[in-house]
Amino acid sequence: MSVGDEREFTALPFEEKYWPDLGKFLEIRQKSLEDIEAFWDERARQLIWIKHWDQVLDASNPPFYRWFKGGVTNINLNALDKWIGTSVEHKVAYYWEGEPGDKRAITYGELYREVNKFAWVLKEVIGLKPNDTVSIYLPMIPELPVSMLAVTRIGAIHSVVFSGFSAQALAERIVDAKAKVLITADGFYRRGKVIDLKKNADEAVKIAEERGVKVEKVIVVKRAGNDVHMVSGRDYWYHELIKEAPEKAYVKPEPRKADDVLFILYTSGTTGKPKGIMHSTGGYMTYVYNVFKWNWDPQPHDIYWCAADIGWITGHTYIVYGPLMHGVTQVMYEGAPDYPAPDRIWEMIERYGVTIFYTSPTMLRLLRRFGDKWVEKHDLSTLRLLGSVGEPINPDVWKWYFTKIGGGKAPIVDTWWQTETGAAMISPAPGLALVPLKPGSATLPLPGIDADVFTPEGKPAEPGKKGLLVIKKPWPGMLMGIWGDPDRYIRTYWERFSKPEEGIWIYYPADYAIKDQEGYFWLLGRADEVLNVAGHRLGTAEIEDAIVAHPAVSEAAVVGAPDPVKGEVPVAFVVLKEGYEPSEQLEQEIKLTVRKIVGPIAVPAKVLFVSKLPKTRSGKIMRRILISLIKGRPIGDVSTLEDPSAVEEVKRAVEEFKKLMQQS
Ligand code: PRX
């Protein structure tokens, strides 16, 4: 990636209200960092609280920072209740569209009533209590935001599991969260087929029970109408339960302390076990409310579409809590972006008159490949802001997005952030003051965010030099910790650069970055053993653990290979046990094992069989060598290598893989 040399794009012909305003932005940012507590105190006052906080930031037990200590609220008050009796009550919250083309339009008033009914059901019929955990395994249907809001309304904690995850992955998350209730669906549509979700859910409940966590109640939304087996006394249809609720059901939003857990969301780390990231009630609410406003400058007439899945953090923040807190009208879509034709997305933007569109570079690369004729069929002139998230956006894709999709008038809001950060951290903020854009850079840290780039030794990196991204001050959207594992929280995010004896605490996101001469940040991908496949975060260890579950496998090492659409794809180096021979069939079986244990997104693009892996004398796999070979880089220092012939074998396997990729 070229850095900082794309200045022809700094004077973009934006609408007048978006003329770049670096000076104003820097001033706001500077002021915010001088006193972050005063800054966030004022921002939190824009929201509804049952009781105001006594202390903006409790930093007495770092890195367990607690925001708005003493404050009491419920996010429903800001996302739903506040709209009742205003004109927003009659405004559409979600224009939902199923993959087959079926449609629903749900107003804020309807959403409020449905959430109240379901909250009533969860409380009165299911018997959920505050702080109980509920796993939600639903596709992109309106009942997903309804469930999340109903759960938080009664003070319970949701753990949404992406509907593309396998039964085993769901079971693992149910067990870790100790969820007694699961909300799921019969099935959903994907590329014209019905995916039988209930079957996975049933299997997950069985596995969870074997591991000591009994799911007592399963609530099933009827979406696809496929045949499902309902277990008597355990499984209930959502629509039948809803009928039991009084027509005018009202459930008072449970008062929650600012530092009560709002939700858990699992994400991948460097070990096989996913981390339950905990977000707070008051801090997350405040951060998301403000960042949403800065990112999108929401206006009453906007039609906003974040084409992510709610199963990931982007959907939690930018499809559920952020937009609802601003009374925004959204488009929500169930299915594949290129089904039934490659212009599904562009066609929908035109039909709904979308003004703000937020997606991932992977989706853009996929859709660009089909050719511009699909874009040109549609009038996209309503678009006024475009967003990008999840992975670095290549400058050429950025330019295509800007000119071809946005018609050269819609600024691109490239948002760098993580499951752990709650909302965007480094990104343009047209709702505050738009800075000049550089294609491929997420621009500058938002107000209140003290980001920098460090050398591996913990010194500030020179401008233009690649280093490691760090965040030097706490922010309200930060995770509270890892569910059930405080030590892992400290180890993963704080140990790398903090100096507790000096009172210095530095958050380490594990991303490479460059800060250029003008202070712009260029995000360059993960610095740990985590892959970013199509904008989805996957731990290499998670995939390796799944592969070695196959009885023929002795050892496995997974690395990311560059991919023109998905950014990177997993490639597995596999050593077989004695008595097994490499074969096409074995490769398929191994792929199937990964699909079963983790899910389709984790399936390796290729399994490369080798007789040994490059290791150090102490027996540690030298992953660095595998990565260099797969990425076509020099392999560097190999003095600690135990058996150099292992490298030759891996080299041959990689060449074979590259030939195959070229052919396809
Ligand atoms: O490596 C960064 C990449 O995605 C990681 C976070 O993944 P996840 O927790 O799944 O959240 C994704 C949605 C926020 C980061 O550590 N990443 C995310 N956004 C960008 C990005 N890399 C470059 N540019 C971005 N805009």
Residue 357 near ligand 1, beta carbon < 6 Å: no
pTM score, two decimals?
A: 0.94
Q: At what angle do helices 584-597 and 540-548 cross, to 10 degrees?
A: 120
**CA 338–ligand 1 middle distance (angstroms):** 23
CA distance 271 to 487: 14
For atom 13 of ligand 1, which residue has the closest CA? 390
Per-position DSSP letters for 499-556, written without gaps between them? BGGGTB--B---EEEEE-TTS-EEEEEESSSEEEETTEEEEHHHHHHHHHTSTTEEEE
Residue 173 lies in a domain: yes
For atom 14 of ligand 1, which residue has the closest CA? 418
Q: Is the pLDDT of residue 450 over 60?
A: yes
**CA 95–ligand 1 middle distance (angstroms):** 27
Residue 217 lies in a domain: yes
77 vs 11 pLDDT, higher one? 77
Strands 133-137 and 385-389: unpaired
CA distance 78 to 226: 37
Q: Tokens 């339009």 label which residue?
A: 105
Residue 602 lies in a domain: yes
Residue 421 near ligand 1, beta carbon < 6 Å: no
Residue 196 lies in a domain: yes
Q: What is the helix (H) or strand (E) element at residue 190, kind and residue range?
A: strand 187-190
Residue 1 lies in a domain: no
Three-state DSSP class for residue 647: helix
Q: Which two structure tokens, joined as six digits, stand for 68?
A: 């708005």
CA distance 545 to 272: 6
Residue 390 near ligand 1, beta carbon < 6 Å: yes
Query: How far, in whole angstroms, is CA 560 from its chain's centroid?
Result: 19
The pLDDT-based confidence of 650 (bands split at 50, 70, 90) is very high
For atom 25 of ligand 1, which residue has the closest CA? 416
Residue 83 lies in a domain: yes
Q: Tokens 């939690």 label which residue?
A: 316
* Order of all β-strands in the sheet with 275-280: 235-237, 217-221, 181-185, 133-137, 157-160, 261-267, 275-280, 481-482
Cβ neighbours of residue 377 under 8 Å, at least 6 residues apart?
A: 343, 346, 347
Cβ neighbours of residue 428 under 8 Å, at least 6 residues apart?
A: 295, 411, 412, 413, 414, 434, 435, 437, 442, 443, 444
Q: What is the predicted pLDDT for the residue at 6?
A: 43
Q: Is the pLDDT of residue 320 over 50?
A: yes
Per-position DSSP letters for 242-295, written without gaps between them? HHHS-TT---PPPPEETTSEEEEEEE--SSSSPEEEEEEHHHHHHHHHHHHHHH
Q: 556-578, pLDDT tens digit by residue?
A: 999 999 999 999 999 999 999 99
Q: What is the predicted pLDDT for the residue at 641?
A: 85
The pLDDT-based confidence of 12 (bands split at 50, 70, 90) is low
Of 581, 517, 591, 518, residue with least CA distance to 558: 591
The pLDDT-based confidence of 506 (bands split at 50, 70, 90) is very high
Cβ neighbours of residue 252 under 8 Å, at least 6 residues apart?
A: none
Q: 277-289, pLDDT tens digit by residue?
A: 999 999 999 999 9
Q: Which two structure tokens, joined as six digits, stand for 194?
A: 């019905």
Residue 187 near ligand 1, beta carbon < 6 Å: no
Share of the chain above pLDDT 90, in %: 90
Mean per-residue pLDDT for 84-113? 98
Q: What is the predicted pLDDT for the residue at 44?
A: 98
CA distance 546 to 528: 19
**CA 389–ligand 1 middle distance (angstroms):** 7
Q: 261-274, pLDDT tens digit by residue?
A: 999 999 998 888 89
**CA 391–ligand 1 middle distance (angstroms):** 5
Ligand 1 atom showing the smallest separation from residue 442 Cα = 26
Tally Cβ neighbours within 10 Å of residue 50. 14
Q: What is the predicted pLDDT for the residue at 663?
A: 82
Q: 128-155, pLDDT tens digit by residue?
A: 999 999 999 999 999 999 999 999 999 9
Three-state DSSP class for residue 350: helix
Q: Domain count of the chain?
A: 2
- Amino acid in the structure at residue 69: K
Mean per-residue pLDDT for 493-497? 98
Residue 216 lies in a domain: yes
Residue 281 near ligand 1, beta carbon < 6 Å: no
Share of the chain above pLDDT 70, in %: 98
Q: 157-167, pLDDT tens digit by residue?
A: 999 999 999 99
For atom 23 of ligand 1, which residue has the closest CA? 392
CA distance 538 to 543: 8
Mean per-residue pLDDT for 533-561? 94
Q: What is the predicted pLDDT for the residue at 20?
A: 85
**CA 425–ligand 1 middle distance (angstroms):** 10
Rounded to 5 degrees, what are φ and ψ at 435? Answer: -95, 160
Q: What is the predicted pLDDT for the residue at 13?
A: 62
For atom 24 of ligand 1, which residue has the closest CA? 392
Most informative mutation of 306, 532, 566 for ligand 1 (most atoms within 8 A of CB): 532
Mean per-residue pLDDT for 168-196? 97
- Amino acid in the structure at residue 453: V
Residue 316 near ligand 1, beta carbon < 6 Å: no
Residue 23 lies in a domain: no
CA distance 417 to 429: 14
* CATH number assigned to the domain comprising residue 604: 3.30.300.30
Residue numbers of the domain that contains 574: 533-663
**CA 535–ligand 1 middle distance (angstroms):** 7
Most informative mutation of 417, 421, 427, 443 for ligand 1 (most atoms within 8 A of CB): 417
**CA 556–ligand 1 middle distance (angstroms):** 26
Residue 306 near ligand 1, beta carbon < 6 Å: no
Residue 545 near ligand 1, beta carbon < 6 Å: no
CA distance 436 to 428: 9
Three-state DSSP class for residue 580: coil
Mean per-residue pLDDT for 169-183? 97
Mean per-residue pLDDT for 412-429? 98
Q: 612-642, pLDDT tens digit by residue?
A: 999 988 888 888 899 999 999 888 888 888 8
* CATH number assigned to the domain comprising residue 124: 3.40.50.12780
Residue 443 near ligand 1, beta carbon < 6 Å: no
Q: Is the pLDDT of residue 9 over 70?
A: no
Residue 511 near ligand 1, beta carbon < 6 Å: yes
Mean per-residue pLDDT for 36-61? 98
First-to-last CA distance in the chain? 25
